[in-house]
């Protein structure tokens, strides 16, 4: 294989420039802004004596509050931040199915049909979402030289790499004003997207069971601890690209002419690619992992937008997403993100190793009012 200088290889990212994995529950740490007032020492005994001093004799309330409506998305704003995030995560993950056939794993969207209330159970149909076939061990071995070449960038990138061990929200927030205090609904939407990506990518990692670079050669010597799960697809690539896709669609849907400029989209996807590449620089991922993760992240991003934007007032089957396949054995060379996404059309594009499995419709009548509630609130934050 021809040896490629890291800087010249990296120049391909001038059109795109990239992120890091996180534990399933670390997203909740981002809610420090939602934590409420700090509790001083001895508050509990102080409250006891305070109540004794002011409460007086018990008197039944003159008026009881009206009952809250059941299953109403307007109730969403009443719950705590972690509760809200749990509800959004359930709405998303509960509709994902997963199958395995030989070296190929596939994620599916579950759609229920027929009666959804009363005694009768609804029927279910699965629609393609993402299909992924793992590369051969010989392909992984051949990609070790790319990791060796990218190691020359470690002195330049190590601070980014360590910072990206956490959620990517600070990096995306440096491009657009994403902040839990200023844009709380968008922030919740992004965390929900990260949860969808995390749980889905982990199913693929577990099923495909691909070894990490450190298991192939003693010369890789990663500069961060090698994660304790499979290498393909890259979780950082998946999560960075789903955030790029979701944020881009939120800004576009806001109707604000400022965000009609394609440069916002370009920066989101350059960042996503840079985050992905940094994991190869760090020595914990192969380029093929990033390609698989980027495809998965963009696919899940479009799926997330379709799920969140669908609402009962839309004509049936208006919302849709495109299912994709990543064929590891067909992939060759370095991760080339500029070939995988069209900034003008805002669509994932077929390239070596990826293929379009067709447009899949989502029945808006059966989608989540809660997801759509948060989606509409998020859009309003950027209008």
Express each pLDDT in 253-287 by its tens digit.
999 999 999 999 999 999 999 999 999 999 999 99
Tell me the pLDDT tens digit for each residue of 218-243: 999 999 999 999 999 999 999 999 99
The reply to whether 329 falls in a domain is yes
* Alpha-helix residue ranges (DSSP H) falling in the chain: 6-10, 43-54, 81-93, 137-150, 154-163, 169-173, 184-208, 235-253, 262-282, 287-309, 369-380
Q: Give the pLDDT score at 41.
A: 81
Is the pLDDT assigned to residue 379 strictly greater than 80? yes
Percent of the chain scored above 70 by pLDDT?
A: 85
Q: Does 113 score more than 80 pLDDT? A: no
Q: Does some domain include residue 9?
A: no
pLDDT tens for residues 155-200?
999 999 999 999 999 999 999 999 999 999 999 999 999 999 999 9
Q: What φ, ψ does residue 95 adopt, rounded to 5°? A: -100, 15
- The verdict on residue 230 lying in a domain is yes
Per the structure, the complete domain to which residue 224 belongs is given by 93-380
The pLDDT, as a whole number, for residue 122 is 77
The answer to the question of residue 217 being in a domain is yes
**19 inside domain:** no
Both structure tokens of 248: 């881009």
Q: For position 15, what pLDDT does the model report? A: 32
Query: Residue 74 domain-assigned?
Result: no
CB 85 within 8 A of CB 167: no
- 13 in a structural domain: no
Q: With respect to residue 316, please indicate whether it lies within any of the assigned structural domains.
A: yes
User: pLDDT > 90: what percent of the chain?
Assistant: 77
Spatial separation of the C-alpha atoms in residues 154 and 283, rounded to whole Å: 9
Instruction: Provide the 10 A C-beta neighbour count for residue 46.
Output: 11
Between 217 and 16, where is the model more confident?
217
- Render 24-73 in DSSP notation, one character per residue: TTGGGGGGGGGS-SPPPTTHHHHHHHHHHHH--S----SSPPPPPPTT-G
Instruction: Collect all residues with Cβ–Cβ distance below 8 Å to 126 and sequence separation of at least 6.
Output: 97, 108, 109, 110, 111
Q: In this predicted structure, what is the pLDDT of residue 35?
A: 47
Count of structural domains, the chain: 1
Whether 364 contacts 40, CB under 8 Å: no
Task: Report d(CA 166, CA 164) in Å as an integer.
Answer: 5
Taking the model in full, what pTM does it have?
0.87
Q: Determine how β-strand 341-342 pairs with β-strand 104-113.
A: unpaired
CATH number of the domain to which 175 belongs = 1.20.144.10
Mean pLDDT of the chain: 88
């Amino acid at each position: 294989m021809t040896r490629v200088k890291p800087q010249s290889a990296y120049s391909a990212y001038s059109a795109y420039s990239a992120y890091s994995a996180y534990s399933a529950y670390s997203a909740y740490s981002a809610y420090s802004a939602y934590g409420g007032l700090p509790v001083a020492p001895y508050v509990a005994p102080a409250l006891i004596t305070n109540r004794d001093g002011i409460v007086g004799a018990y008197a039944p309330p003159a008026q009881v509050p009206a009952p809250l409506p059941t299953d109403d998305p307007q109730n969403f704003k009443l719950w705590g931040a972690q509760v809200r995030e749990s509800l959004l995560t359930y709405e998303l993950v509960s509709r994902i199915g997963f199958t395995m056939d030989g070296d190929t794993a596939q994620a599916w969207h579950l759609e229920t049909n027929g009666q959804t209330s009363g005694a009768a159970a609804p029927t279910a149909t699965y629609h393609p979402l993402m299909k992924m076939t793992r590369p051969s061990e010989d392909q992984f071995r051949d990609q070790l030289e790319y990791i060796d070449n990218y190691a020359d960038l470690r002195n330049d990138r190590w601070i980014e790499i360590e910072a990206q061990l956490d959620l990517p929200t600070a990096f995306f927030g440096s491009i657009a004003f994403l902040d839990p205090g200023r844009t709380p609904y968008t922030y919740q939407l992004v965390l929900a997207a990260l949860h969808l990506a995390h749980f889905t990518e982990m199913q693929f990692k577990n099923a495909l069971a691909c070894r990490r670079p450190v298991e192939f050669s003693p010369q890789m010597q990663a500069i961060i601890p090698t994660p304790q799960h499979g290498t393909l697809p890259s979780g950082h690539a998946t999560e960075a690209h789903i955030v790029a896709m979701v944020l881009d669609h939120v800004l576009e849907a806001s109707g604000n002419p400022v965000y009609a400029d394609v440069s916002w989209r370009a920066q989101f996807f350059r960042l996503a690619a840079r985050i992905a590449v940094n994991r190869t620089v760090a020595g914990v991922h192969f380029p093929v992992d990033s390609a698989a993760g980027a495809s998965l992240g963009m696919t899940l991003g479009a799926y997330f937008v379709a799920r969140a934007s669908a609402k009962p007032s839309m004509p049936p089957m208006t919302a849709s997403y495109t299912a994709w396949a990543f064929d590891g054995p067909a992939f060759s060379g370095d991760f080339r993100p500029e070939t995988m996404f069209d900034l003008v059309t805002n669509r994932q594009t077929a390239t070596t190793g990826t293929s379009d499995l067709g447009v899949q419709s989502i029945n808006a009548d059966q989608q989540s009012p809660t997801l759509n509630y948060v989606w509409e609130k998020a859009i309003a934050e950027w209008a």
